[in-house]
Each structure stands twice: as structure tokens, then as C-alpha cells.
Structure 1
Amino acid sequence: MGEHHDAMAAEAVEFCSALIHIDSTNTGDPATTGDGESRCAEYIQSLLAEFGLEGELLEKAAGRGNLVVRMKGSDPDAPALLVHGHTDVVPANRADWTMDPFSGEVNDGFVWGRGAVDMKDMLAMTVAAVRQLRRENFVPQRDIVFAFVADEEIAGEFGAQFLVDEHPDLFHGVTEAIGEIGGFSLQVRDDLRLYLLGVAEKGVAWATLTARGTTGHGSIVPNGSNAVARLSSALARISEHKWPVVRSASLSALVEQLGGALGRPLDIERLDDELASLGLLAAMLLPGLRTSTVPTQFYAGYKTNVVPGTATATVDCRIAPGTDDEFKKQFMDLLGPGIEVSWEDGRSLEAPARGALLETMQTAITAVDPAGKALPFVMSGATDAKAFSQLGINCYGFSPLRLPEGFDFAGMFHGIDERVPVAAIHAGTRILHRFLSAQ
């Protein structure tokens, strides 16, 4: 069995490298986004078809392929599980990288390239684990649906949202899902590695602000009529506002279980200070505590001595779970009068922070890493869970990796020299295999 699992882990590394080598850059512009997503889907389809799992390949637009495969369970009435991941990646500039970002080179104990952690590693681990399960003639109790989708890095219009809107039947019976971001480890002590499981996801609200004022000479128009001045004041209030910690069910579970893992209770009134001492762990946990409102762009004017009639800015708002409805009113109160706002948004998500699925994750982790302890956390970024949750699916972040101490996992996402440790893929594939074999 050990040799078979070694071969499975080696396959995962091979598949990850091959997927990275397929340039599936999503520029956000249909004219410049190629057919890499379809080529990834076709490659995965070929690997699974070798073991009798053909699946359906679906495109909303040419080159934007999505592959959905259902592994039938022994109990057709049992609630099904979805395992999902995206094939697209953000752009990479070759001149900035140590290695060619689309080489998929295995060097110095890492697989290098764009998508190594976001998230071709998970795609590769999933495919390798499924192939091994088929070798073992494994039949799950419940159906397991695998979705390898396009376009997550923009909005899912050609990927998860397309499937949910136009092919919801493919997810019939699914009640739970795993995908990004979660399942990765952070070492606290030699005998304790915390594996963060995404049980909630902050809402997204991208605000475009417009202020209007008097156009005229810079020496004449007062700041009270100046669109730039009015919008700048509003942005200052947004930037300086300290949003409170939101005591959601997921945060309560985090505080309780982290305190148990550390061997001391945590003071929820001083969570910022409590977490700040935890190094890389803090970088992942702190953003989930509260809403954030971050100005990102400002546009106004064309000449120093001309006061423009309008000024526009964008603010990236990430909303703490369960506070979506009250957030916009609070935001508007902070802006003050005279500012127009338009929104692009997606609601926050929160799945149960306790239950059989999470216990199965913990069991799978411990089987491979006895020092591993699962810990629920709130994901600050947005994922395809936003789309799949529209079907009533409880979505979790579980893409397991056992990471070496000090590895800046968060810094790899969309970063230069993105890479994933080979050993992390080996352990992650074994964890995922153990998890799937318990379904």
C-alpha cells in the first residue's frame, strides 16, 4: 500500500508540473485570454478517462472549458459531495521571475510556476487521488462530483457561475463542497501544526464612488465645491474607520479551538493582540476578524490649475460574515452626503464550523500528520464558493498541504516566483486520498 501511495504522490507532482506548463492565463479580456483553460480540462479529462471517468466538458465560450465528473456512490439517496478547483491563473511577467512561470520546473524541492499554489496543485492532487481510488476499486457511499472550472480569477462568468446558471443538474443532490482556500498547515511548535479549514468567506463589495462639483480655475473654485476635495475627505473617513470584530459562529469556533490547541484560553476582547504574536498564522487569521474597506483607485482632472467637475474612486470592501445587510448603510454614513455609489458584490458565506465533514478532515490530516490539528477560519478572499453556494451547498476551503516551517504560503498567491513544495504535495495528496476514501 505504501508503494502505491508513493506512486500516487509522484503522479500528483507530475500532473501539477504539466498543468502549470499549460498557460491558462486569464487576463479578464476575452480577446487576450487564450484556450489554456480548455486545454487543462482536456488534459485532466484524459487522465480520468483512463480509469473510466469521462465526465462532461462544457464551454460557454471557445477555449473556456469546464470539466464535471461524477463518481457514483453505492447509495444514490445519500447527499453528494462536490470537489472543485479552477484551472485559470493570473498573468505573470517572465522578466520578474527566477524560473519561467510556465515551465512547471521541479527544482530545489519545489514545483515552480504560475498556479503552483493557486491552484493547480489541488487539481493535480485531486486527479492523482481519484486515480488511486479507482485502482483500489473504491466505491464511495455517496456520489462525489468533481468540477474543474474556468474563470475563477475574474468572476466565474465562464466557469462556476456559468455551470450554476445553465447546468445546475450536474450538481443534483450535492449538499457539501470542498475547494480553496484552506487545508494548508502552519507550524506553531515542533509538535503542533495547525491546518486552517475555510468555514466562512467574507463578502465582496467593490464600490465605485463619484463626487461632483464645480468645474473652474484652481484659483477661484473653493474646496467646498471641489469634487476632488469632497471625495478625498470621504476616502479618509473610510480609511480611518476601525471596523469592529464580528463574533460570528465561525469566529467563536476559531477562538475556542485555537485556545484548546495552544493550551490556554484566548481573550476575545483582545483578539488582535492575541493573534499578532502567532507570526504567519496571524497573517491568515487577522483579516477574517472584521470588515475591511480599502481605497484602491482614484481618477480626477487633467491639469493642475483646472478643478475637475467629477472625481471617481474605487474601494475594495470585504464584509465580515453575516453583516452584509447592515454594511452598506454604515458605509454610506461614513461617506457623508454628495457621494454617488455603484456596487459589484457577492454575499458572505458561512458553513457550519462543526460536523461530520470537518471531523473527517481532521481524521485524514492526523492519519498523515500526527501533529496536525484542524482549525476553522474565515477566508478573506472570494472563491467559486460564491457561485456554488447559490445551489444551497455548504462550501469549505480544504486543499490540504503540509507546509515547511516559515513557508510564506499567503505570499505565493499571485506572487512572483510562485512555487509549492514537492513534499507538501506528497502529504496533501495522501490527506486528500484518505478524506475521499471516507466518503
Structure 2
Amino acid sequence: MASRGHNRTRGIVSGIALFTLLSLGAVLTTLTTTTNLISLPNVLLSTTTTKHNKHGGSICPQPDYSRPFNSSGYFDTPQFWDLQKGRLSEAIRHNTVSYDDLGDPLPAKGEKRDERWDVFDTFQTFLRETYPLSFSKTKVEKVGGYTLILTLEGTTDAKPLLLTGHQDTVGVGSLADWDHPPFDGYFDGEFIWGRGSSDCKTNVIGLLSVLEHLLENEYTPRRTLILGFTQDEESGGRGSTAINATLGERYGKNGIELILDEGGAGLNDEWGPLLALPGLAEKGIANLQFTVTSPGGHSSVPPKHTSIGFLAHILSLVEDADIFQPALTTSHPYYHYLECVSEHGDPSLVPKWLDSELSNGNKKDLSGLARKVQEIVGTTEKWLLTTTRAVTRIGGGIKNNVLPDEAHFLVNSRLEVTTTPQEYVQTIVDTVLPLASKLDLTVKVSNQTLHTGSSGILTIEPTMLHPAAPITSWKSPQWAILGQAIRATWGPETITAPSLATGNTDTARYWDLTENIVRWTPLRVEARVGIHGANERIQLKSHLEAVKFYHELILRFDEIA
């Protein structure tokens, strides 16, 4: 294990059978360890704060600062910077785009294999050659086709730590929109450019670089460490399904201590101090396919509306209807984020009404607070509290002079965490039904006829419905240890506050592995540019900070095993 300086202020003390977690100014719980439970340390939350809850304690407590492990200094050396620049640039040069129509990487006997998977063979050869110790001193499993699981066995029976990312990327769109070729890994002196640079090869390369460094120093963990890198986070989920099945069978339900995957809101200083915002929840997801069929024919004798015309009316309503309002509850991660902003933010930047809303507002109806917040935050943050709608696919018509007998579009929505998929579908149907009836369309939802008309048929079919994720607790010792790793990396003034993901990650399939799922790519917001768009790039300095964080996290969880 890496050594620490002798005069370090220790925020974590190993080998303690009881721990006390001071959160919200009160003792939350006392746990007694057994041979089957993790030994948890005394993690004391700092009380050097200014605002308090009704019990007199901090409303956003932070773990005591303890300086980084001595071994983390390696990541600040020019040699490592050069090494990492080359590693990440080379990873980007491997075009690992995953497509929605990729065939099964493990086809049944007699079925043709989709050759587009071949790029993952060459990418994984690069990984093995770049990180020889990581692939020779761990148990390496390839599951689901090209998903990798690397397991470094610990010397105790403490629950494993699982750190994950994905190898694949989205496509690049028009090459004309890129200032530098998307698979060149170009470095401009500050940023590394290319598809996957920030989503999510920075995670994959960062984690493997830490593991390689630890093994170079003959690291033997007390706690089993698992790295998991999926093949198709952007397109299908075969990889995460395979990880869940493999580790679920091996360790059982809630058999993992903590999972850290990509996501979250990074780090930003919009309220004064630097805030680290790991995601403790994930919005639900729904895809609804709208299809209109009506009689075709020659375009010289058209009806009042063609299938495309009917569809246009429906599409416009679905986009424009004011049907989903912002929602907030006291158990919502964003509510606690607001508490942290209220307590730790610069008073000159924080709205004066926020403190009074949190202290005196109606806790049973926070819709007013949610609306106020939406008025002052950016576009991305706005959608954390509201169900979204985005028309992402559309089609119809086969020839200029032929009336289309079919037209369709797909709406992709991310569901606010208190909204169920069933409630979402019902709201959409209730919104569309009056207009469809007025247009004299028969309306069918999942093979159930809700209205009969004579001009055509509108079919609404859910093609994906997935509920919001369970909310990970920000009152747990795991959260406190995460916070210590964050403060050790970015400094004692850094504040850790919960957030949630607007999108969805591989963790949607990991719910049974642990109650402690954190979605966070540890990068400053200004350091990640162009995710899923043109000119994607990542600031090398921020990538190196992320590497240091992974190092701190692994060793701190190992210290208490």
C-alpha cells in the first residue's frame, strides 16, 4: 500500500469496529462490523459551516480534509503528463463507434458476425500492450462479446469496489464540422481533440493508468478492486447486462461496496467555491413511437391531410404542450444540492430568497422553489427537475407524387425522478387524444383502441420504458469517503454536493449490485467540450486531476477494508 506523510491530519482511521457519521448535525447511525461486513472508520464531517438545520448542525456537512497520499505526487510529474497525453491520444485514434443496428457480437451458430465489432479487437490489443501489468496481474474476463472485467483480488472479505466506463463512442456526424479529424487524437497544447476524448475514454485510460501505477509499485489491495469497461453503452447495453450477470452471480445482491461510473455534473465554481457534483440518481427514460397510416394515392388528388400532415399536427402538440412541470422533494438530490449552495456559496452570487425558501418554505409543496430555480439556472441544469421531450427520429413518404400511406416519429424523453413511465405515457396520451379525435383518427395505444375515426389510424407505441434509478444516500459513510477523495484531489475548500444525471448510463443495469451507485466523471465543466457533438475535446490538466482522484478513491476505500 502507498505510504502517507507522518504529519498528515488523518480523516480516516482504520481498524475501528464502530464508526460515527455526523450528518445534519446529528448522529445518524452506529454500525458494528462482523466478518461479513465492511469495517467502517470514524468519518467525521466538518462543522466549520455557517448555516444549520433545525437540530443545530450543518445542512451540508463536509468530511474533514486530509492531504493526498504521498504516491499521488507521481501524477504531477512531467513524465506522467507526457505519458498520459500519448495514451489518451492513441486511445482516441481507435474508432470504437457503436451503432444502434450492431449485430450480436456473439452470434448463434450459422449466423454471420457483424464485422463492425472488429475495431474493439484492435483497441483491446492497444490496452493490453499499454497496460501490461493490469492485464497480467488481474483476472481478465471478456463478457457479452467485448466487455472487459479486470479483478484484482484483495486479501480481506470486504465488499469489492467497482469502477467502470465504456470503450465505445457515438458517431461523428459531418466531418466538415470538425476543426481537427475526430480520430486523430490531436493535442493543441491544452486540449486533446477527438471522439471519445471526454466520453468516455478519459475514464477508461484514467482508471487503467492508476491500476498500472499501483501494480508497478507492487500494490496488493486489502479490498478487491474491479474495473469494468463496456462495449456498447451508447447503443445497446449488452455489456452492462453481462457485467451485472457476472458480478451478481459472483457477489450476490448488494455484494459491491460502491460503484463509480461516468456521469454527474463534474466540478464548477458558478456559486463561488469549487463544487464537485457526483450524480446520486438518474432520470428515467421513455421512447414513444407515433405512427399515422392513411390511404395513399396520387398527389394530384390529395385529402385535407396526408399521413405526414396528420403527423405534423401531432408532433407540434407533443413538442409544445405545457404538460410537465418541475418537481422537487426533500429527498431529491437536487434539494440537498441547493442546501449546499445556500450554506457554502458566495452570498453575493447566491439568490437571497434561496435560504428563506429552504428554511421556511412548505416542504410538502416545493413546486414554487423548483420553478424559481429553473428561472436562474442554465439549460442543462433546468432539465434536472423536469421531464423532457425530444423528437429524435422521423420518416415518411416514398416518392414526390405519391401520397404517403405511413409516417412516423419517435419521442425520446428523460423522466423526472418522481414520474413513473406509466404516468408519463398516460400524460402524453391524454394530451394527444383530443386532437386526434378532432382529426378523425382512430387512436391505438399498445394494441388498445381508445377512439375510432375514419380518416386514418394513429398508433402510439412505447418502445422503451425505464423508471428512474433508486437514489443513493448522501448520508452514508461511502459518500463521506468519496468526499474525502475529492477534497484531497481538488483542495480543502472544495465542496461535495449531490447531483443527478440528465442522461442514462450503464448503471441502469447495476441496481442489484449495490445501494451505493455514483455517476461522476471527475472533470471540470469547462474541460469537457463537444460531448456527442463536433469538436469533442478534453483539457489534459483536468484529465490528470481525474487520474489523481481515482488513485485517492481506490486507496481510501482500501484503507478501511
User: Shared fold by TM > 0.5?
Assistant: yes
Matched, 1:44 2:127: yes
More displaced 10-residue stretch of structure 1: 263-272 or 379-388: 263-272
Cα deviation code 1:39-67 (max 9, x no counterpart): 33343344554255333242544xxx222
1:58 alignment partner, one of 142, 166, 173: 142
1:326 aligns with 2:423: yes
Output the amino acid matched with 1:349: A
1:67-88 CA-to-partner distances (Å, cap 9, x unmatched) read 2112223431x33221111011
Question: What SS class does the counterpart of residue 395 from structure 2 fall into?
Answer: strand
| Match of residue 6 from structure 1 | 76
Correspondence for 1:27: 99
- Aligned residue type for 2:417: P
1:228 corresponds to 2:308: yes
Deviation at 1:209, TM superposition (A): 0.9
User: Contact 2:265–2:499 at 8 Å: present in 1 too?
Assistant: no
Q: Which moved more, 1:260-269 or 1:361-370?
A: 260-269
Gap change, CA 1:171 and 1:183, over 3 Å in 2? farther
Q: What whole-Å deviation, never above 9, does each CA across 1:313-355 have from its counterpart, x for those lacking one?
A: 1111111124223222222212215132222233321332402
Corresponding position: 1:372 with 2:481: no
Following superposition, the deviation at residue 180 of structure 1 comes to 0.8
What pairs with 1:269-284 in structure 2 (closer than 5 Å)?
269-278=368-377, 282-284=378-380
- Out of 57, 71, 79, the position equivalent to 2:159 is 79
Secondary structure of the structure 1 residue equivalent to 2:498 = strand
Residue 431 of structure 1 corresponds to which residue in structure 2? 549
How far 1:120 moved relative to its partner? 0.7
| Structure 1 partner of 2:227 | 146
The one-character-per-residue Cα deviations of 1:84-138 (angstroms, maximum 9, x if unpaired) are: 1101112235443222322223222112211110011111111122223334554
Match of 1:18? 90
Cα RMSD, aligned residues only: 2.8
Counterpart CA distance in 2 for 1:302 and 1:22 is 37
TM-score by length of structure 1 reads 0.86
> Which deviates further from its counterpart, 284-293 or 171-180?
171-180
Residues 1:129 and 2:210 aligned together:
yes
Counterparts of 1:122 and 1:184 in 2: how far apart (Å)?
13
Structure 2 residue corresponding to 1:174, chosen from 256, 274, 291: 256
User: Is structure 2 residue 368 aligned with structure 1 residue 287?
Assistant: no
Whole-Å separation in 2 of the counterparts to 1:11 and 1:109:
15
Q: Find the aligned partners of 1:119 and 1:305 in 2 and give their Cα distance.
A: 46
Give the greater-gyration-radius structure (CA): 2
**Contact 1:25–1:88 at 8 Å: present in 2 too?**
yes
Distance 2:518 2:124 in 1: 23
Indicate how the Cα distance of structure 1 residues 253 and 41 shifts in structure 2: closer, same or farther if over 3 A, else same: farther
Secondary structure at the aligned position of 2:269 is classed as strand
**Closer, same or farther in 2 for the Cα pair 1:220/1:170, shift >3 Å?**
same
In the TM superposition, residue 383 of structure 1 has moved relative to its aligned partner by: 1.1
- Whether the 8 Å CA contact 1:215–1:307 is kept in 2: the answer is yes
Structure 1 equivalent of residue 325 of structure 2: 244
- Written as runs of structure 1 = structure 2, the 5 A alignment for 1:350-389 is 350-354=470-474, 355-370=476-491, 371-389=493-511
| 2:233 matches 1:163 | no
Deviating more after overlay: 25-34 vs 320-329: 25-34
Contact preservation (8 Å) 1:145, 1:171? no
Amino acid at match of 2:99: T
Shift of 1:416: 1.6
Contact 2:143 2:243 in 1 (8 A): no
- Taking the aligned partners of 1:135 and 1:276, their CA distance within structure 2 comes to 51
The match for 2:455 is none
1:299 to 372, 377, 395: 395
> How far is the alpha carbon of 1:202 from its aligned partner?
1.3
The letter of the residue matching 2:214 is L
Rounded to whole Å, the distance in 1 between the matches of 2:394 and 2:523 is: 39
Partner SS, residue 270 of structure 2: strand
Aligned-partner SS, 2:277: strand
> Is residue 531 of structure 2 the alignment partner of residue 413 of structure 1?
yes
Q: Which has the higher helix share?
A: 1
How far apart in 1 are the matches of 2:224 and 2:380? 32
Most deviating of 191-200 and 228-237: 228-237
> Higher mean Cα deviation, 267-276 or 199-208?
267-276
Distance 1:12 1:53, change over 3 A: farther
Structure 1 stretches lacking a partner, 5+ long: none
* Cα pair 2:328 2:370 within 8 Å, conserved: no
Q: TM-score, normalised by structure 2?
A: 0.68
Contact 2:483 2:496 in 1 (8 A): yes
1:313 aligned counterpart, secondary structure: strand
Q: Percent identity between the aligned chains?
A: 20
Task: Give 1:208 deviation, angstroms.
Answer: 0.9
Aligned to 1:397: 519
User: Number of aligned pairs?
Assistant: 424
Unaligned regions of 5+ residues in structure 2, if any?
1-69, 104-113, 358-365, 437-442, 444-457
Partner letter of residue 331 of structure 1?
A: I
Q: Give the corresponding residue for 1:340.
A: 459
- Change beyond 3 A, Cα 1:21–1:306: closer
